[in-house]
Amino acid sequence: MGTGQKIAFLGTGKIGEALLSGLLRSGKDPADVLVTTRRPDRAAELTERYGVVVVSNAEAAKLADTLILAVKPQDMGTLLDELAPHVGADRLVISAAAGIPTAWFEERLAAGTPVVRVMPNTPVLVDEGMSVISGGSYAEEVHLERAEAIFRSVGKALRLPESQQDAATALSGSGPAYFYFLVEAMTDAGILLGLPRHVAHDLIVQSAIGASVMLRDSGEHPVKLREAVTSPAGTTIAAIRELENHGVRAALLSALEAARDRSRELASGGK
Ligand SMILES: NC(=O)C1=CN([C@@H]2O[C@H](COP(=O)(O)OP(=O)(O)OC[C@H]3O[C@@H](n4cnc5c(N)ncnc54)[C@H](O)[C@@H]3O)[C@@H](O)[C@H]2O)C=CC1
Ligand SMILES: O=C(O)[C@@H]1CCC=N1
């Protein structure tokens, strides 16, 4: 075991592993990182890949200062049943689960246990994550700062009131998936136009990277950036007309509303 503050990941699937790898990249000693898994083969894989310590959920609760819960909302009830008797109120519990409010955890944990709800996204894998952080009733400034330090090491972190977490989940939590979906669809379009798949892929991925950097760094409004691409009587406006004809803007509004609603449905670890 290392000598620093110990962080445990309870549930080390896609987002848990992404966070774990980012934390180690940022310099955290693997000896201070504990993980729990359901399957022994997954445990062996994580130890071999990262040199972290695999423990049971109960041991993680006893040993770690900060517990990051990253199981599916539907599995959170079972995890809390197992965990709650071992979590002292001096621990910080961070939930990365969609939908579940901090109050749900507070009801199941020892009175006064600080809980912080975080919605990260998978670009934490490349240190470009967007994490939205909200404190529960017993989370003090020191706890929010501890959570921020973890998530800032793998991208940006923003504090928002918990009432905005379902919206943030729809926007930035799920957001990367929408971009991948668009890239996939545009690659297909390139193929329709006769380009080889790998060429279509490379053209659209680099265009996405260029557009993202301009969105972040130019300080310009997206409308201005789009106008700069849209020449009079040119190609872009022909495409934009089709996007508007097919209701893409309306589809995005409905899609994000659906994601927000699904997050609300998961509030009690729903099915
Ligand atoms: N995938 C994503 O982009 C994001 C996911 N989340 C949230 O993170 C959580 C996990 O999502 P994913 O990583 O996508 O799912 P996943 O299914 O890849 O990972 C969940 C892991 O938890 C493990 N697990 C379940 N019960 C367990 C238990 N009692 N003890 C130990 N391990 C247990 C499973 O075996 C699995 O490896 C969800 O609550 C989701 O809402 C949040 C932000 C982004
Ligand atoms: O799809 C989900 O439910 C999770 C939460 C945000 C991103 N992935």
Beta bridge mates, 35: 9, 54
User: What's the average model confidence in pLDDT over 53-64?
Assistant: 95
Q: Which residues contact 142 (CB under 8 A, 6 or more apart)?
A: none
- Kindly indicate the confidence band of residue 268, based on its pLDDT and cuts at 50, 70 and 90: confident
- Kindly indicate the confidence band of residue 106, based on its pLDDT and cuts at 50, 70 and 90: very high
- Does the CB atom of residue 123 touch ligand 2 within 6 A? no
Same-domain status, 58 and 107: yes
Atom of ligand 1 nearest to the CA of 10: 31
Instruction: Give the predicted TM-score (pTM) of the model.
Output: 0.96
- Does the CB atom of residue 36 touch ligand 2 within 6 A? no
Distance, CA 50 to ligand 1 centroid (Å)? 18
How would you class 130 by CB atoms within 10 Å of its CB: exposed for 0-12, middle for 13-18, buried for 19 or more?
buried
Distance, CA 174 to ligand 2 centroid (Å)? 5
- N-terminal to C-terminal alpha carbon distance within the chain: 38
Model pLDDT, residue 1: 66
Starting from the CA of residue 122, give the closest ligand. Answer: 1
Tens of pLDDT, residue by residue over 6-50, are: 999 999 999 999 999 999 999 999 999 999 999 999 999 999 999
Same-domain status, 35 and 130: yes
Pair of tokens at residue 28: 């955290």
Residue nearest to atom 5 of ligand 2 (CA): 98
User: What's the average model confidence in pLDDT over 218-226?
Assistant: 97
Average model confidence (pLDDT) across the chain: 96
- Does the CB atom of residue 173 touch ligand 2 within 6 A? yes
Residue whose structure tokens are 């934490």:
124
In a domain, 271, yes or no: no
In a domain, 45, yes or no: yes
Tens of pLDDT, residue by residue over 184-212, are: 999 999 999 999 999 999 999 999 999 99
Distance, CA 159 to ligand 1 centroid (Å)? 22
Same-domain status, 145 and 222: no
Task: List the CATH number of the domain containing 43.
Answer: 3.40.50.720
Tens of pLDDT, residue by residue over 135-186, are: 999 999 999 999 999 999 999 999 999 999 999 999 999 999 999 999 999 9
Same-domain status, 41 and 147: yes
Same-domain status, 18 and 144: yes
ipTM: 0.98
97: three-class secondary structure by DSSP: coil
Residue from 9, 10, 14 whose mutation best tests the ligand 1 pocket (most atoms within 8 A of CB)? 14
157: three-class secondary structure by DSSP: strand
Question: Residue ranges of the alpha helices (H) in the chain?
Answer: 14-25, 40-50, 57-63, 76-83, 102-108, 141-152, 165-168, 175-192, 197-217, 222-229, 235-245, 248-265
Look at 110-114, 119-123, 267-271 and tell me which has the smallest mean pLDDT.
267-271
117: three-class secondary structure by DSSP: strand
Number of domains comprising the chain = 2
Same-domain status, 215 and 259: yes
Same-domain status, 184 and 151: no
Atom of ligand 2 nearest to the CA of 119: 6
Model pLDDT, residue 270: 66
152/127 Cα distance (integer angstroms):
9
How would you class 81 by CB atoms within 10 Å of its CB: exposed for 0-12, middle for 13-18, buried for 19 or more?
exposed
